[in-house]
Amino acid sequence: MIYAQLFWVFCKIGAVTFGGGYAMISLIQQEVVSRHWCTPGEFADMVAISQMTPGPVALNTATYVGKITAGIPGALIATFGLIFPALCLTTLVIRFLEQVKRSHVAEPYIRGIRAAAVGLIGAAVLFFMENSLVDGDLPLDRHLIGRGASWAGLGFLWQGFVIFAVILVLKKLIDIKPVWAILLSLALGAGLYTVFPAG
Partner 1 sequence: MDKNSSLCSNRPMKEKYRIYGGLFLSFLKISSLTLGGGAVMLPLMEEEFVKRRKWITEEDMLDVYTLCNTLPGVIALNSSLMIGRIRAGLPGAVCAVTGVLLPSVVVIAALASAVQLLVAYPLVARAFLGVRAGVTALLLLVIIGLGKKGIRGVRELSIALFAFVALEIFSINAVLVVLLCALLGGILFRSKREGRP
**Cα 80 to Cα 6: distance, rounded to the nearest angstrom:** 10
83 binds partner 1 (CB under 8 A): yes
Residue selected from 5, 6, 7, 27 as contacting partner 1 according to rule CB under 8 A: 27
State in angstroms the smallest separation of the CB of 152 from partner 1: 19
What part of residues 53-72 is at the interface with partner 1 (CB under 8 A)?
A: 53-60, 63-64, 67-68, 72
21 binds partner 1 (CB under 8 A): yes
State in angstroms the smallest separation of the CB of 166 from partner 1: 8
Instruction: Classify burial at 195, counting beta carbons within 10 Å of its beta carbon; exposed 0-12, middle 13-18, buried 19 or more.
Output: exposed
**Cα 134 to Cα 143: distance, rounded to the nearest angstrom:** 19
Residues with Cβ within 8 Å of residue 146, at least 6 apart in sequence: none
Site string for partner 1, 100-129 (x = CB under 8 A): xx--x-xxxxxxxxxxxxxxxxxxxxx-xx
State in angstroms the smallest separation of the CB of 153 from partner 1: 18
Residues with Cβ within 8 Å of residue 28, at least 6 apart in sequence: 10, 13, 43, 58, 61, 62, 65
Q: Which residue, 114 or 147, has its beta carbon nearer to partner 1? A: 114
State in angstroms the smallest separation of the CB of 48 from partner 1: 4
Residue 134, strand partner residues: 130, 156
State in angstroms the smallest separation of the CB of 158 from partner 1: 10
Instruction: Give the Cβ contact number of residue 107 at 10 Å.
Output: 9
Residues in the interface with partner 1 (CB under 8 A) total 113
What part of residues 127-166 is at the interface with partner 1 (CB under 8 A)?
A: 128-129, 131-133, 140-143, 157, 159-165
CB 156 within 8 A of CB 162: no
